[in-house]
Amino acid sequence: MDLGHGKCWDTSKKESWKTLFLLAYQSLGVVYGDLSTSPLYVYKSTFAEDIQHSDTNEEIFGVLSFVFWTLTLVPLFKYVFVVLRADDNGEGGTFALYSLICRHAKVSLLPNRQVADEALSTYKLENAPEKKNSSRVKMYLEKHKCLHTALLILVLLGTCMVIGDGVLTPAISVFSAVSGLELSMSNNHHQYAVVPITCFILVCLFALQHYGTHRVGFLFAPVVVAWLLCISALGLYNIIYWNPHVYQALSPYYMFKFLKKTKKGGWMSLGGILLCITGSEAMFADLGHFSYAAIQIAFTFLVYPALILAYMGQAAYLSQHHDNTNHIGFYISVPEKLRIPVLIIAILASVVGSQAIISGTFSIINQSQSLGCFPRVKVVHTSDKIHGQIYIPEINWMLMILCVAVTIGFRDTKHMGNASGLAVMTVMLVTTCLTSLVIILCWHKPPIVALSFLLFFGSVELLYFSASLTKFTEGAWLPMLLALILMTIMFIWHYATIKKYEFDLHNKVSLEWLLALGSSLGIARVPGIGLVFTDLTSGIPANFSRFVTNLPAFHRVLVFVCIKSVPVPYVPPAERYLVGRVGPPAHRSYRCIVRYGYRDVHQDVDSFETELAARLADFINYDWHRAHGTYSFPEDNASLSNESSTECRLAVIGTVSFSSIPPYEVEESVQPASVSGGFPTVDSVTDVIEMEPVGVVERRVRFATDDESVTHSSADMDFQMQGELEDLSTAQQAGTAFIIGHSHVQAKQGSSVLKRLALNFGYNFLRRNCRGPDVALKVPPVSLLEVGMVYIV
């Protein structure tokens, strides 16, 4: 659940204690809903089949010891003290780690990268080392292209398991909470009541998603606080009343004693114990909504002690009750008079935890889509005030169907826990591997430090992961099946996207061809603004030449729009638009590159259309002042012979009103960096041949930020600039047309069977059954012009 735009705090200012504790309190309802409900099902899943609770209490004390040290090592030491520091401008999660790695090493598979992107204020590098002292690991990663693909697959695997957890967590949380009814009903009745009630709650939960959580979000933190206080009080009561010496079981000695007695069964039971850390990844994934200190305080001083007391209390109760007729679980340790109130609070807490993982699933799918790794889906913003609260209808109903199917199909905590455990441990292993790379590449620590981190936490997680794999036939197959399907979809979509970009690069048209079009060739210029959408950052896309060939006319004002993703979480609005000319001013053709981060919310078409026209007007003002020398500008070091005479430099145009004097400039050396898609990236802002190496060209990208409005009388305005602005205004009033390519991808002759299956059938099936680019851009049908294109790749 997104509570704000980027960081909710300013690290440059010391937080007041009041603000810090408020953020810590709010984080309880968003971050810890899933983790705090794990006592509902950990012991029940652990003692489901592999081990039995005996009179010696060695099993229950051994499990308690494992739970205590697992909670201490993974959420507390790994996440709170290490992983939370690997933030990307305050953002956390799998894509944040991948983004950090891609900025510090050339391992990104994203196309159309530019050196100008590195001038973004959010594209900061931490302690950038000198080139001579580059890490061997960095050089090795950049050298081997297969490792770029392997890194992306690792990220996609973690992403797919998070989505799989979005299916499993609501099912097991709500089912475990509702299962408390079994102690108040006979066996003949509760088995027909728990599953229908669980399904009803899940259906209601998903059916209400389109309203958003902002209306009831203020209730989340009180519910989780009430639940944590409830399990803490119950734990203390059970410890004092049943076994005050249960604290002795926290010794690691009981873990070895447990494994020595239970042997293989004890190892297999670790698949249930690992459920005590489900939801730990949310601390990192939701880092951008709260401060590091707030999450640290909330976990260390409330969540962690409450969970330890809850598990100790259950163990104390079970150590004095060995009756086999009592099913091991959370509710049997609750006094009978309190079971109904506790049941109600548990159901509410499970709903809060489920809501957090559902919102997180929407968010990570939106991030995947922005990076070209997921088919286009409709993203609805449920709040006008709170940035980032989104709802994806297709994903919501799919999650609901799968959650209900899991509940009806498994019908018990054991199988759901096995499935959820494998998904959780896979995500944690991915995070451990990526954090190890961040320690080397971004923090510039010695490789031995990263290797120690990887071996220590990786070995702990591999132990639990291996135990989960033994449950493959007992539910663990589900997340693996879901991950396989999702990874196939995501990788096919990303592969086809890269191939389409390669095709566009090879088949783009020169600017001279565009400038040669005129009335002598029967080409007419019609009123209005034509927005030609393309993935190219320079040159004329082939779909526009096809459009003009079949319909010999185009608009009076022509804008080539490239909406691209940058490996940063957010692009400040003042740095979003990169604008330049295509041809001389009289041609009225422009290029606009609109940059978004992987957590940015794309504008709707009305605001985008208006915003784009305003940025074009600001650029015309800026370019006129620069060209006519009204104000002094530093000399441009670029050689005119190396610069295209028809496509001018691009300027970053802000979002306020035009300021006549740019406050600063950015010097950049344009050197194309190769990406592992098999083609060089485009770092030049001129019309270079993007598939071939380009020589070093010193270029300045000027930033025009609009701090103050400067009014110029028409008498002082140059006649040509006045006419250009009037043409833009007239064209805007005449209407805007959106020219978008409608693509069909086909593998070229001689391609492998796998490639033909992926492109001819897989990608085209996904393209036909997902949202089109016009829907993703929210283009009104009356303004849409689709140009059919066949991509033979």
| Paired sense of beta strands 697-704 and 664-670, if any | antiparallel
Residue 128 to residue 444: CA distance in whole angstroms: 8
Residue 686 to residue 639: CA distance in whole angstroms: 12
pLDDT of res. 780: 80
Residue 179 to residue 347: CA distance in whole angstroms: 10
Do 336 and 273 share a structural domain?
yes
Give the residue from 495, 527, 548 where a domain finishes: 495
**Nearest CA-CA partner of 361 in 385, 394, 404, 406:** 394
pLDDT tens digits, 325-343: 457 889 999 998 999 999 9
Give how far the C-alpha of residue 177 lies from the chain's centroid of Cα atoms, to the nearest Å: 29
Read off the pLDDT band of 602 (50, 70, 90).
Answer: confident
Give how far the C-alpha of residue 634 lies from the chain's centroid of Cα atoms, to the nearest Å: 40
Contact residues for 764 (Cβ-Cβ < 8 A; gap 6+): 744, 745
Do 523 and 484 share a structural domain?
no
pLDDT of res. 764: 92
Give the residue from 462, 495, 528 where a domain finishes: 495
Residue 773 to residue 123: CA distance in whole angstroms: 27
Q: What is the mean pLDDT of residues 349-367?
A: 88
Which string of DSSP letters, residue by residue, matches 267-317? HHHHHHHGGGGTTTHHHHHTGGGS-HHHHHHHIIIIIHHHHHHHHHHHHHH
Coil, helix or strand for 626? helix
Read off the pLDDT band of 172 (50, 70, 90).
Answer: very high
Instruction: Kindly state the tokens that stand for 683.
Output: 């770092």
Q: What is the mean pLDDT of residues 204-221?
A: 81
Would you say residue 688 lies in a domain? no
Would you say residue 327 lies in a domain? yes
pLDDT of res. 274: 93
**Nearest CA-CA partner of 535 in 503, 566, 562, 496:** 562
Strand partners of residue 525:
554
Long-range CB pairs of 85-88 (<8 Å, 24+ gap) are 85/292, 86/435, 86/438, 86/439, 86/442, 86/443, 87/287, 87/288, 87/292, 88/568, 88/569
Kindly list the distances between the CA atom of residue 228 and the CA atoms of 46, 80, 221, 303, 566, in Å, as whole numbers in the listed order.
22, 19, 10, 7, 40
Read off the pLDDT band of 131 (50, 70, 90).
Answer: very low
Do 164 and 260 share a structural domain?
yes
Coil, helix or strand for 647? strand
Strands (E) across 30-130 are located at none
pLDDT of res. 668: 36
Instruction: Kindly state the tokens that stand for 216.
Output: 């009831």
Would you say residue 673 lies in a domain? no
Q: What is the mean pLDDT of residues 136-158?
A: 90
Do 425 and 278 share a structural domain?
yes
Would you say residue 666 lies in a domain? no
Read off the pLDDT band of 372 (50, 70, 90).
Answer: confident
pLDDT of res. 630: 54
pLDDT of res. 378: 85
What are φ and ψ of residue 383, in 5° steps? -140, 135
Q: Is 659 left (phi over 0), alpha (psi -120 to 50) or beta?
A: beta
Residue 515 to residue 590: CA distance in whole angstroms: 12
**Nearest CA-CA partner of 202 in 71, 396, 386, 3:** 396
Check: CB of residue 349 under 8 Å from CB of residue 177. yes
CA atoms within 13 A on the CB side of 268: 16
Would you say residue 460 lies in a domain? yes
Lowest mean pLDDT among 66-70, 181-185, 206-210, 257-261: 181-185
Read off the pLDDT band of 387 (50, 70, 90).
Answer: low
First to last CA, the chain: 40
Give the residue from 473, 495, 517 where a domain finishes: 495
pLDDT tens digits, 251-285: 999 999 999 998 888 899 999 999 999 989 888 88
Lowest mean pLDDT among 195-209, 621-635, 707-721: 707-721
CA atoms within 13 A on the CB side of 162: 31
pLDDT of res. 175: 93
Which string of DSSP letters, residue by residue, matches 135-198? -HHHHHHHH-HHHHHHHHHHHHHHHHHHHHHHHHHHHHHHHHHHGGGGGTS-HHHHTTTHHHHH
Check: CB of residue 282 under 8 Å from CB of residue 360. yes
Do 513 and 470 share a structural domain?
no
Would you say residue 19 lies in a domain? no
Do 601 and 484 share a structural domain?
no
Q: Locate all alpha helices (DSSP H) within 672-791, ordered by sequence.
A: 719-734, 753-756, 764-769, 773-776
Residue 533 to residue 738: CA distance in whole angstroms: 7
Interhelix angle for 339-370 vs 194-207, to 10°? 40
Give how far the C-alpha of residue 232 lies from the chain's centroid of Cα atoms, to the nearest Å: 34
pLDDT of res. 126: 56
b/e code 588-609 from CB counts within 10 Å (16+ = b): bbbbbbbbbbbbbbbbebeebb
| Paired sense of beta strands 524-533 and 736-746, if any | parallel
Kindly list the distances between the CA atom of residue 516 and the CA atoms of 546, 561, 587, 621, in Å, as whole numbers in the listed order.
16, 21, 11, 26
Longest dimension (CA), the chain: 98
Would you say residue 64 lies in a domain? yes
Do 563 and 480 share a structural domain?
no
pLDDT of res. 204: 93
Residue 131 to residue 759: CA distance in whole angstroms: 40
Identify the CATH number of the domain in which residue 461 sits. Answer: 1.20.1740.10
Do 588 and 464 share a structural domain?
no
pLDDT of res. 18: 83
Read off the pLDDT band of 592 (50, 70, 90).
Answer: very high
Q: How many helices (H) and strands (E) does the chain have?
A: 28, 13
Q: Given a cut of 90, is residue 461 above it in pLDDT?
A: yes
Do 755 and 615 share a structural domain?
yes
Interhelix angle for 393-410 vs 413-441, to 10°? 130
Instruction: Kindly state the tokens that stand for 313.
Output: 């209390």
pLDDT of res. 651: 84
Residue 361, classified by CB atoms within 10 Å of its CB into exposed (0-12), middle (13-18) or buried (19+), is: buried
Do 535 and 464 share a structural domain?
no
pLDDT tens digits, 36-64: 999 999 998 898 777 887 888 889 999 99
Strands (E) across 522-609 are located at 524-533, 553-565, 577-581, 589-596
**Nearest CA-CA partner of 260 in 58, 57, 43:** 58
Which residue range is the domain that position 68 belongs to?
Answer: 38-127+137-495
Q: What are the respective helix, strand and coil percentages of the chain, to the nearest 5?
A: 60, 10, 30
pLDDT of res. 772: 80
Residue 302 to residue 229: CA distance in whole angstroms: 9
* Count of domains observed in the chain: 2
pLDDT tens digits, 489-541: 999 999 999 999 989 889 888 878 877 776 666 788 899 999 999 988 888 88
Higher pLDDT, 668 or 25: 25
pLDDT tens digits, 76-115: 999 999 999 988 888 888 988 998 898 888 888 876 677 7
Residue 81 to residue 84: CA distance in whole angstroms: 7
Residue 198 to residue 177: CA distance in whole angstroms: 9
What does the mean pLDDT of the chain come to? Answer: 81
Q: Given a cut of 80, is residue 745 above it in pLDDT?
A: yes
Do 574 and 447 share a structural domain?
no
Amino acid at the residue 429: L
Q: What is the mean pLDDT of residues 723-727?
A: 90
Would you say residue 13 lies in a domain? no
Instruction: Kindly state the tokens that stand for 616.
Output: 């074009």
792 membership: H or E segment, kind and range: strand 784-792
pLDDT of res. 324: 55
Instruction: Kindly state the tokens that stand for 21.
Output: 């504790």
Do 482 and 512 share a structural domain?
no
pLDDT of res. 250: 93
Residue 529 to residue 525: CA distance in whole angstroms: 10
